[in-house]
Amino acid sequence: MTEKIGVLGTKSPQRTDVERVVNAPLPTVYGKFQAVGYMDHERGDEQVALVYGEIGSDDVLVRLHSECLTGDAFGSQHCECGDQLAHALRAVVAEGSGVVVYLRGHEGRGIGLLAKLRAMALQAEGLDTVEANLALGLPVDARDYGVAARILEDLGVKSVRLMSNNPRKREALVRHGIQVAEQVPLLIPPCDDNITYLRTKRERLDHHLPHLDAVAHWS
């Protein structure tokens, strides 16, 4: 049986000191958003929420998107991150309102860009994404979602329909005081280059990826 990996602690979350700094219109290929910029004074990260339409407070369609330079900017097929970001932006526009919180400092599930590239090199040698992090002496998942919860609170959001396949992301938001009315699947068709990575996320990190059953014959 494949070992499951626990990645989030159970201690009570600490409140994060987040300040709204700027609100600017941001026309994109997906639609016209408002880019709301924040400073996370605790970690020193600059954060941004892309807000579309009049979002209200309850059951807001939301994506918490972890920064992924290789996927989001370079179109890497090692992961599905870039496609998930594009899908989420299209989804909130189609919905008529919603929020995509782009979480900087989350690169490589929180280990940073260079460490992520080192882990990718180990994966090319045969380790899976969990084994690679552990081989480097790094946590499997170091992400914290306190800043995301504070941003949503600042935007007046009390409950969300969360676009995510990761149940731990839902658990983290609830611990930080944001209710999750629904978890909306964000399923991207796999390719030869990411099928092993996606299987590891399902088998060891508990991501809900039922669409992988249709490609179970892939090596």
Q: Which of 143, 150, 161, 199 is catalytic?
A: 143
pLDDT at 12 over 50: no
pLDDT over threshold 90, residue 83:
yes
pLDDT of residue 108: 95
**Reported confidence tier of residue 9, pLDDT bands at 50, 70, 90:** very low
Burial of 9 (0-12, 13-18, 19+ CB in 10 A): exposed
DSSP β-ladder status, 159-163 and 179-184 = parallel
Task: Check 40, 128, 141, 144 and give the catalytic one.
Answer: 141
| Nearest by Cα to 100 from 142, 59, 151 | 151
Q: What is the pLDDT of residue 6?
A: 43
**Do the beta carbons of residue 8 and residue 172 sit within 8 Å?**
yes
| Span of 12-21, 68-77, 110-119, 146-155 with lowest mean pLDDT | 12-21
Does residue 128 have a pLDDT over 50?
Answer: yes
Looking at every residue in the chain, the average pLDDT score rounds to 90
Residue 45 is a catalytic residue:
no
* pLDDT confidence bin for 4, thresholds 50/70/90: very low
- What pLDDT does 169 receive? 93
Is residue 28 within 8 A of residue 89, CB to CB? The reply is yes
Does the reported pTM lie above 0.85? yes
pLDDT(3) > 60 = no
* 75/3: higher pLDDT: 75
- Whether 143 sits among the annotated catalytic residues: the reply is yes
Q: What pLDDT, in 10s, does the model give residues 157-166?
A: 999 999 999 9
* Contacts with 192 (C-beta within 8 Å, 6 or more apart), sequence order: 218
**Which amino acid is present at 47?**
Q
**Residues 6 or more apart whose Cβ sits within 8 Å of residue 205:** 4, 5, 7, 130, 140, 141, 166, 168
How does residue 206 score in pLDDT terms, banded at 50, 70 and 90?
A: confident
- Output the six-digit token pair for 146: 């306190």
Helices and strands, counts by H and E, the chain: 7, 7
More confident residue, 113 or 218: 113
- β-strand partners of 18: 40
**Distance (Å, whole) CA 72 – CA 87:** 12
Q: How far apart are CA 35 and CA 101, in angstroms?
A: 10
Q: Does residue 15 carry a pLDDT above 90?
A: no
Q: Tell me: pLDDT of 5 over 50.
A: no
For the cut 80, the answer to whether the pLDDT of residue 13 exceeds it is no
pLDDT at 208: 87
| pLDDT at residue 60 in the model | 98
Element (DSSP H or E) covering residue 183: strand 179-184
* Confidence bin at 146 (pLDDT 50/70/90): very high
Sign of CA pseudo-dihedral 200, 128, 163, 82: negative
Element (H, E) at 63: strand 60-66
